[in-house]
Structure 1
Amino acid sequence: MSDVLLFSAGLDSFPAWHYLDKPPALYFDLGHRYRDQERAAITALVDRCGIEVSVSRELDLSRWEADNAIIPLRNVYLAMLAANRAERIWCVGVKGDATADKSPQAFRQISQMITDLSGRPVWLDSPFWQMTKTEIVAWYLGQGLPAGNLLLTFSCSRTDSAATHCGRCSSCLRRWISLVNNGIDAPFETDPWTWARVADYYVPAMRDGTYPDHRAEEFFAALDAVGFVPPPPAHPATAEDGQR
């Protein structure tokens, strides 16, 4: 069975290349706003590690990119195009991912659709459905692979052309959590734990069960690692409070 890894030079797909024993990699330049940074990261990783990466510009989805960098149906498009090249398509999702087109169930549905319409078996899957980002980085380091190469990856949804990680987006926050929990000090334009949204949104959301338990545990472990003390939980108003 022929394999291909959908590769973005991110903190998930780079360890996946090692985990899957270095399969051919495929990058789709979708015209999205941080594609220049991804292309630069790919070049750096190819030079350092000898990754075999094919770059394709056959699909421009930039007009559908939302303000939060999400492109609806992105993984459906990528899987259909990759199916022209391989029977088994690796697209990296991690434990707890549950967006419309990135979850174990979604990947099974996409696989079945392409199989039915192409008339041949096509399988879309991730090697990391049972692992968190922190655990993926731990696995990588456990193989004796260089931590410095992880810092060549790019995982940020900033809107300008700067090559540094902004530290003020959800992608940067997840990157920081997985690295700091493995003892890696990574550069960011702004320290992610100082991002106002961490205290205003993420701390309450992690406490109230908005996110899975494993996400909350890793989030608070990372804050503890840098000595960040989250604000105390807000107490519900009482009748007496309302009379003041």
Structure 2
Amino acid sequence: MKIVVLLSGIDSLIAKKKIEIDYPDAEIVSVYYDYGQPFKDNDLASLPDDVEVRKFDLAPDLYPGGVSDVNGRNMAAITLSCQWYQPDMIVCGFLYDEQGSYKDDDIIFCNLMGRILQRIYNKPIKVTSPFFEMRATKSEAIEWALCNGFTIDDLTRTVSCMFVEEVGHQCGTCFKCFTRYMAFLYNGIDVYKQYQNHPFSKAENLNNVFDRVSNSDYIYTEAMRYFLKLSDEYDVAFALSSRSINNYLKK
């Protein structure tokens, strides 16, 4: 059995490990697609040495403002993987709590692509995302990884920033930095020193936390319990104490 894993960052890196455990006898090929994204050097610095790098032009002038995500990139990468590798399975790093931003990042898309590829290549080709199928969040994927051979360093050297300004250093305020930060907090790991700005320094992120905790979101609640134990270390502690988050955590 031949499996292609589309690698890009922490989510797909963990998905690769899951596939290695589930399919110990399979031939697994790890592929990173360089389509002009400004953060590729950061991605590649955190990925395994055996990853194959493939280049393709997705669109001209794709990143005038440095924005990292592009509609259709997953569909293009999957299609090219079938053409180049003729696999039996293609694995993505989609997560249950991050679906919906694009139309090619969920299990519905995976199933549709599998049907299209089967029609074109005249054989079953499964397109899957193991943690999406488990309905796992980023927090739960990291928790799984720490229980299955990953070290904290393995995970924290990955990059998830939409506006990376230098290798290994992330902005801290974009949505991807924020969700990554909360996922590590949930697992008792504070990675704020990796960011140029603390994720809670952006009002939108902080409001998101309050909304999620007030609505009894278990993962965000547990993440904030851990954060508040450390909050004396931060300049943003005043922002937390000025709201009623402590009352929600005491419920």
Q: TM over 0.5: same fold?
A: yes
Q: Does 1:119 align with 2:110?
A: no
Which residue of structure 2 aligns with residue 6 of structure 1?
6
Separation in 1 of the partners of 2:59 and 2:210? Answer: 34
Which residue type is aligned with residue 201 of structure 2?
A: T
1:101 paired with 2:108, answer no
Take 1:166 and 1:91, find their aligned partners in 2: how far apart are those partners? 25
Which of residues 236, 239, 243 in structure 2 aligns to 1:231?
Answer: 243
Cα contact 2:171–2:177 (8 A) shared by 1: yes
SS at match of 1:226: helix
Q: Please give the secondary structure, in 2, of the residue aligned with 1:40.
A: helix
1:164 equivalenced with 2:165 (yes/no): no
- Per-residue deviation, residues 184-225 of structure 1 (Å, max 9, x unmatched): 12222222122222134x24653798xxx7xx4323432332
Unaligned 5+ segments in structure 2 are 22-27, 229-239, 246-251
Within the candidate set 204, 219, 222, 1:197 is matched to 204
Q: Secondary structure at the match of 2:42?
A: helix
Q: 1:112 to 1:29 in 2, by over 3 A?
A: same
Contact conserved, 1:30 with 1:62, CA < 8 A, in 2?
no
Tell me the distance in 2 between the aligned counterparts of 1:103 and 1:230. Answer: 38
Instruction: Structure 1 unaligned segments of length 5 or more: list them.
Output: 47-51, 234-244
* 1:55 matched to 2:53: yes
Calculate percent identity across the aligned residue pairs.
22
**RMSD of aligned C-alpha atoms?**
2.5
| SS of the residue 1:83 aligns to | helix
Aligned residue for 2:120, secondary structure, equals helix
Q: 1:152 aligns with which of 145, 149, 157?
A: 157
Which amino acid is 1:168 matched to?
T
2:80 paired residue number: 81
Higher helix share: 2
The Cα offsets for residues 84-133 of structure 1, whole Å up to 9 and x where unpaired, read as 21120001111232331111111111111222223332221101012111
Equivalents in 1 of 2:152, 2:109: separation in Å?
32
The whole-number CA distance in structure 2 between the counterparts of 1:188 and 1:181 is 18
Distance 1:178 1:204, change over 3 A: closer
* Secondary structure in structure 2 of the residue aligned to 1:175: helix
Contact 2:34 2:40 in 1 (8 A): yes
Residues 30-69 of structure 1 aligned to structure 2 (within 5 Å): 30-42=35-47, 45-46=48-49, 52-61=50-59, 63-65=61-63, 68-69=67-68
Whether the 8 Å CA contact 1:33–1:62 is kept in 2: the answer is no
| Higher mean C-alpha displacement, 82-91 vs 14-23 | 14-23
TM-score by length of 1: 0.79
Aligned amino acid, residue 53 of structure 2: V
CA distance change for structure 1 residues 95 and 83 in 2, over 3 Å: closer, same or farther?
A: same
**Aligned partners of 1:159 and 1:153: how far apart in 2?**
12
Question: How many equivalent pairs are there?
Answer: 219
Query: 2:214 & 2:203 partners in 1: Cα distance?
Result: 18
